[in-house]
Chains A and B, each alone.
Chain A
Amino acid sequence: MSSRRWRESSRTNISEEQITQLLSTLRQLLPEIPHSHSHKASSAAKVLKQTCNYIKTLHREVDDLSDRLSQLLATIDADSAEAAIIRSLLI
């Protein structure tokens, strides 16, 4: 970590320790990608970039899923017997 980057942090009064702690929390959430550098060769920028990409991926997945769901719901419309089954199995 270059000293220039952490000059910024001194302005905002966050200790380096806190930053590394928070970043490690974040790193745990990200899925392990084996083909990328699997060492902890992660500067803050890399972790943040991976986080942003991951959130975008999740958004896209939810978009796709809601697409499929909307199509499915259009076909299943108003079938109370199936709704009862589905509800009982979901709950």
Chain B
Amino acid sequence: MATYLEFIQQNEERDGVRFSWNVWPSSRLEATRMVVPLACLLTPLKERPDLPPVQYEPVLCSRPTCKAILNPLCQVDYRAKLWACNFCFQRNQFPPAYTGISEVNQPAELMPQFSTIEYVLQRGAQSPLIFLYVVDTCLEEDDLQALKESLQMSLSLLPPDALVGLITFGRMVQVHELSCEGISKSYVFRGTKDLTAKQIQDMLGLTKPAVPMQQARPGPPQEHPFVSSRFLQPVHKIDMNLTDLLGELQRDPWPVTQGKRPLRSTGVALSIAVGLLEGTFPNTGARIMLFTGGPPTQGPGMVVGDELKVPIRSWHDIEKDNARFMKKATKHYEMLANRTATNGHCIDIYACALDQTGLLEMKCCANLTGGHMVMGDSFNTSLFKQTFQRIFSKDFNGDFRMAFGATLEVKTSRELKVAGAIGPCVSLNVKGPCVSENELGVGGTNQWKICGLDPTSTLGIYFEVVNQHNAPVPQGGRGAIQFVTQYQHSSTQRRIRVTTIARNWADAQSQLRHIEAAFDQEAAAVLMARLGVFRAESEEGPDVLRWLDRQLIRLFMFHLRRSPFLQVFNNSPDESSYYRHHFARQDLTQSLIMIQPILYSYSFHGPPEPVLLDSSSILADRILLMDTFFQIVIYLGETIAQWRKAGYQDMPEYENFKHLLQAPLDDAQEILQARFPMPRYINTEHGGSQARFLLSKVNPSQTHNNLYAWGQETGAPILTDDVSLQVFMDHLKKLAVSSAC
């Protein structure tokens, strides 16, 4: 008999789904008493090397309001060639192609192991992937050089038939025409003027006379490249040209006087990029990749003025309602993000600067469209270079790990309704019978659009049990949920992935233990954290913490409360946005790391082992490796550091020391290789300035307040006023007992 742990793992492996409860309370009342909602983390495109897609179209339930897809849970009458929809109980005829089916000759979608199945659609035109680079030229010389090299390198990573375009911006915005020989052409726009999509298309000459439009109906794909050919060209054709063009890119030539920021028209540049794709390739997979080295300083979407003496907004300013440009800028980018999402394109933001770049305002561009957000100090760092390279990594089939223009539809059996989703998606506002009135996350719909996603993109989906207490589910009844993800595969095929899962209902009063045993602590933690972050985005910080405290009494929550997702202290608004962005899309494992960083210890006392994320773990004869998802910190204890200084590792007789030093490095490399975005890699030692990264994360069980009370030599005191886990727990226990929440 498999344990729940195994069951959960197996389900995750196969369907990319993890539920907070794996046995469902059978009535609304009981479900609400459970506090943690019935919800799941869904990784729609989880990599399944063992799942070859089938080359035909799915069979749909004929009820117009249902349209569920034939799945292993359906009851099939092989003789009558009928199947019953397990969601609406409609009886459906099999289509003519299925005449040969029988118990022994089943189509794949009826086999239990294909609870997740992928269909490849043959219909619909295939259009190449589109990559539109939007490049900031207000960079330092070496930064720009590094960025240019990265971009040039990326050309070789793109599929040869992919279309690329280039927009550069500084004080002005230049849309480069890539088709012409000889003179390099670009269309220039003022960086201060907000243009409508129509104006942009007119000015770029994308609007065509009305006559050919009608003729173009039968074969739009043939027409499209013609229209846009000037700005978006197949890589293989303009490879050389574009490489040269990138090579010749100069820093923004407009003078920047002392005490000023360069004028950076990010808002207009993005708006033009969006307008360009909107006019040429709507509903085709396309990535707008924004590379910026500083905050937008003029025009729509400006985040800060060009006076250096006025610093960019901080959390403090925002709380004091002192961020002049924030609301307007946010509105601008939200408008762009929504348009982009409507068009099925996604926006990536690669922001590399020491100061903030306005991610807070721009975050919606990536968040709503499923684009990446990468934050670094400089384009001339391996963090950016490798992260960027990793975007173009390929899977076991040699396909890019990216998909476009996906819609996720969730169908539930009657006892359940969909309350919402949290992740890189926008609502499609499709009301159906299974849409709950209560919203958790992005709700009010059972369909979402995810414009850009990769195999790790994970959404939290929240459900509501609607079954009334007085209408119990029959014993052994199962609830079913079907996830239907239609998307454009990176090979430009349109595909549909269908995952259908079922869980048992249980009566909370009689079978509480079952339900308890089937609780997935980790999934629940992450799902709750997502809810918390989602709230934090829209509500005041302390309120969210209070809400969380009221909801939960669990270990992770101590760390979650201290995490940058909820705490803005010590983080800039940009950093908060960045962390939250990733938290809302990574899968469970990564999310857990984010909430509670992992600490490994390396010592001569034994093999590497995970240790408590606690200040007591910081010992002089240990090397610590901490992974916070965003940072990888290697910390040499005091003694180890002294040894290294003394150069023992170079002596042949101390080879074991050398190995000890090397071990965490290797492990760190392994993590660095796999993770996207690439974490900040910090190699420090006791007393090093960078050690703060470690010290700020560990549980401050020893502080300057209680150091002498402990009186031991172990551990390192943390200079903080934060409460330790011990205190937190004590307090929590008291609360749990004393008050009914």
Do chains A and B stick together as partners? no
